[in-house]
Chain A
Amino acid sequence: MPDIAVADFVVIGSGIIGSTVARKLAQAGASVLILEAGPRVTRAEIVARFRNSPRRSDWMSPYPPAPWAPHPIYQPQSNNYLVQAGPYPYEAEYVRQVGGTTWHWAAHAWRNVPNDFRIKSLYNVGVDWPLEYDDLEPYYQEAEVLMGVSGAPNTGSPRKKPFPMEPVAEPFAMRRIRERLASAYEVVTNTTARNSRTYDGRPACCGNNSCQPICPIDAQYHGGLAAHAAEAAGARLIPDANVYRLDHDEQGRISAALYYDPDKISHRVTGKTFIVAANGIESPRLLLLSASDKFPRGLANSSDMVGRNLMDHPSTSLTFDADEDLWLGRGPQSPSSIGVMRDGSFRAEHAPYRLDFTNISRVVSATSALIDQGVYGDEFARRLRYSAARELNVKNVLEILPDPNHRITLSDQKDAMGIPKPQAHYSINDYTKKGHERSQQDFRRIAELLGGSNLRFSKDGAYANNQHICGTLSMGSDPKASVCDQWARAHDHENLYLAGTGVLPTCGTCNSTENGMAVALRTVHHILFEHKASDAPASPRAG
């Protein structure tokens, strides 16, 4: 097993965050090697797969996993890759391919609100972050410039510089919702990595209403673009390189990454600094897989916190018929929210939440429902048009608190490469359930203000998952209670950094990507500062 590559920095995972870290390091002159478990896939391939999919509501259908780098699939039948230990199923979805999961996202690029960083101090729940909003503010801005973020200033997250772009044009349906709720709620434009004008060589949104599973014109930023930018900056990216182990030396420094190619031939990559950026499930899995005599619980795991404190955003929802034609499906999918319940003293008692309005076309779901009901003939067209015009949906995006019992472990089942599968232990606790209960009065009030009829609440006790995987690599000041420090450096290993949403110690009420990006950019700043301080000589480019 000869060393096949040497680099200053070895980044494991080519998603939006790993690739951005690689890009920044390469731009600073370092040699950078990115190892990506999955294959390269083009935007055109994904668009074609979606249009030809027999499951148009299954947005993972355009992303079939590679046999050598599986990811969880649930339709048309589960591939049982993410083993469920219960008591509540955690059916995470993510994509292992060059660029990672943000090929398929709503492009929400929210900042936390300042109090999200101090919920233990303020509300005696959860934990405080080892940094504050102001520490992250310049990196939020940097992330927004890199991704091309459009938004409005009234979201509760103060900023020192304006958004790179004005908000994306408001769909008619969202305008009517905003106008009709104005007496009770301020409806705000979502902050999104979506172009409202030509930006960074990419076009403005043209309203294809397929932000998920794929923007067909790259009007929204994604990890594929980030990976391309990293390579353009000089990073070398090896696809189909499924890292299954990290090795260390006698001092506990990480010395090599071992990966399988699709033929299960093992390769070894050495480097000076390693950055694990393989998402909130695959990253802890890799650290646990790397257990050794010296680190029997896995790398970075003297605290036994690797994989613990798994968080996401559970949602419940209300679907109803408005009293006017609104025609969801014109323009971007997820344009508007209500943020009034994102923060307040109530957080001592129950989960905060954001209320999110969908603008996803109702045509496919209404069609399926009518077929199930056996509605045929001219009545079908009449009712389809009614549902497509009138149906609205509002959901909550609930905070779930860090709980060590919610965790990713290694299963005793193995994947196709013979590597132990990840296993999820998860539940919905009372704090989150109380938030759900509180949100029901908002649901009812919203429906009332929109003349709602035929109210259909989501099934009692069922929480949809939003695929915002957090917490499994939590940063913190106490090495006994966290995996990494405020710079996302593993407490246990001098040359091991973690990047991704797994390092976020709490999940707040908004999509996690921008928070993960900002923390990672701060990590890069720290790494480069330290390297400059130590005057480390630059190595030749990886090769």
Chain B
Amino acid sequence: MDDRNAALRAKEDVTRRWLLGSLLTAYTASLVPWALAQPIDDRDQGAFLAISAIIAGHQALDAQLAKRLYDALIVDDKRFPSMARELLSLIDARKIEPLHLQQVLDAEKSSLAGVPRAIARAWFLGIVGSGVQARCIAYENALNATIVSDVLKPPTYAYGVYGSWAAKPV
């Protein structure tokens, strides 16, 4: 019977969706008010998404890409979900602002210092991992491409008709 209940709970977990705002405290919610309605699968992924929103600022975070980035980060380090939760708690407890987050962690030689940098690389460059383990998860949808997409296209994408690049960008 216990097994059956566990199976039912698991099924419920898979199908249930929460909103990011439901797991945030007042402080962390105040950092990312635009992201509170972002759907999340579970608390672990929610912590990742909350930190993602803190790092990315007012950028729309594609839910499918978020899942792929999260899955890739877990492959690299199974402790990643717990570290993300721990980091979110730290941000909340010490009221750390996004712009100071990395400096605080680096200065304190925190074991969590690699977490925001890995998330930043994932969203801004579309790359997870480093060295020979690095792999590309996103290119034209990485945030560094979308942030400038009104003016620039990612290399290998055409600007349009011949000479269209001669005009002043608007």
Q: Convert B85-108 into 0s and 1s, putting 1 for each residue whose CB lies closer than 8 angstroms to a CB of A.
A: 000000000000111011100100
Count of A interface residues, CB-CB < 8 Å: 52
A276 within 8 A of partner (CB): no
B161 within 8 A of partner (CB): yes
Contact of A208 with B156 in the complex, beta carbons under 8 Å: yes
B33 within 8 A of partner (CB): no
Q: How far is the CA of A368 from the CA of B166 in the complex (A)?
A: 28
Q: Convert B106-139 into 0s and 1s, putting 1 for each residue whose CB lies closer than 8 angstroms to a CB of A.
A: 1000000000110011001101011110111001
A379, closest chain B residue (CB):
B99
Contact of B59 with A171 in the complex, beta carbons under 8 Å: no
A152 within 8 A of partner (CB): no
Which one of B15-23, B41-49, B50-58 is at the interface?
B50-58
A329, closest chain B residue (CB):
B152
A204 within 8 A of partner (CB): yes
Q: How far is the CA of A206 from the CA of B131 in the complex (A)?
A: 33
Contact of A376 with B116 in the complex, beta carbons under 8 Å: yes
Contact of A207 with B136 in the complex, beta carbons under 8 Å: no
Q: How far is the CA of A363 from the CA of B153 in the complex (A)?
A: 10
B142, closest chain A residue (CB):
A367
Which one of A23-31, A209-217, A502-510 is at the interface?
A209-217
| Least CB distance, A174 to chain B, in whole angstroms | 9
| A331-B165, A373-B102, A376-B99 given; 19 more Cβ-contact pairs under 8 Å | A51-B156, A53-B136, A169-B162, A172-B166, A197-B162, A207-B159, A207-B165, A208-B155, A208-B157, A209-B159, A214-B156, A329-B155, A375-B99, A376-B56, A376-B116, A377-B56, A377-B57, A380-B147, A385-B148
Q: How far is the CA of A212 from the CA of B145 in the complex (A)?
A: 18
Contact of A331 with B159 in the complex, beta carbons under 8 Å: yes
Contact of B58 with A378 in the complex, beta carbons under 8 Å: yes
Q: How far is the CA of A526 from the CA of B55 in the complex (A)?
A: 65
Beyond A330-B152, A379-B99, whether A169 also contacts B166 by CB under 8 A is yes
A458 within 8 A of partner (CB): no
A52 within 8 A of partner (CB): yes
For this complex, 15 residue pairs linking A to B, each with C-beta atoms less than 8 Å apart, are A56-B125, A76-B134, A169-B166, A170-B166, A196-B162, A206-B158, A206-B160, A207-B158, A207-B160, A361-B152, A364-B144, A374-B106, A376-B55, A376-B120, A381-B147
Contacts of B98 in A (CB 8 A): 376-377, 379
Describe A's contact surface by its main secondary structure: loop
Contact of A377 with B54 in the complex, beta carbons under 8 Å: yes
Contact of A327 with B166 in the complex, beta carbons under 8 Å: no
A193 within 8 A of partner (CB): no
Q: How far is the CA of A379 from the CA of B97 in the complex (A)?
A: 12
| Least CB distance, B100 to chain A, in whole angstroms | 8
Binding site for A on B (CB under 8 A): 54-59, 97-99, 101-103, 106, 116-117, 120-121, 124-125, 127, 129-132, 134-136, 139-140, 144-145, 147-148, 151-169
| Least CB distance, A168 to chain B, in whole angstroms | 8
Contact of B103 with A367 in the complex, beta carbons under 8 Å: no
User: Which A-B residue pairs are the 7 nearest by beta carbons?
Assistant: A374-B102, A377-B98, A331-B165, A169-B163, A54-B134, A378-B57, A210-B155
Restricting to A374-423, which residues have a CB under 8 Å from any CB of B? 374-381, 384-385, 388-389
Contact of B117 with A371 in the complex, beta carbons under 8 Å: yes
Contacts of A47 in B (CB 8 A): 156
Contacts of B135 in A (CB 8 A): 54
Chain B CB within 10 Å, residue with most, of A55, A175, A216, A380: A380
Q: Which of A77, A325, A374 contacts B117 (CB 8 A)?
A: A374
Contacts of A374 in B (CB 8 A): 101-103, 106, 116-117
Restricting to A148-194, which residues have a CB under 8 Å from any CB of B? 169-172, 175
Contact of B144 with A384 in the complex, beta carbons under 8 Å: yes
Beyond A76-B132, A172-B168, whether A54 also contacts B152 by CB under 8 A is no
Q: Which of B58, B125, B160 contacts A371 (CB 8 A)?
A: B125
Q: Which of A204, A325, A384 contacts B162 (CB 8 A)?
A: A204
Q: How far is the CA of A364 from the CA of B139 in the complex (A)?
A: 11
Contact of A367 with B169 in the complex, beta carbons under 8 Å: no
A140 within 8 A of partner (CB): no
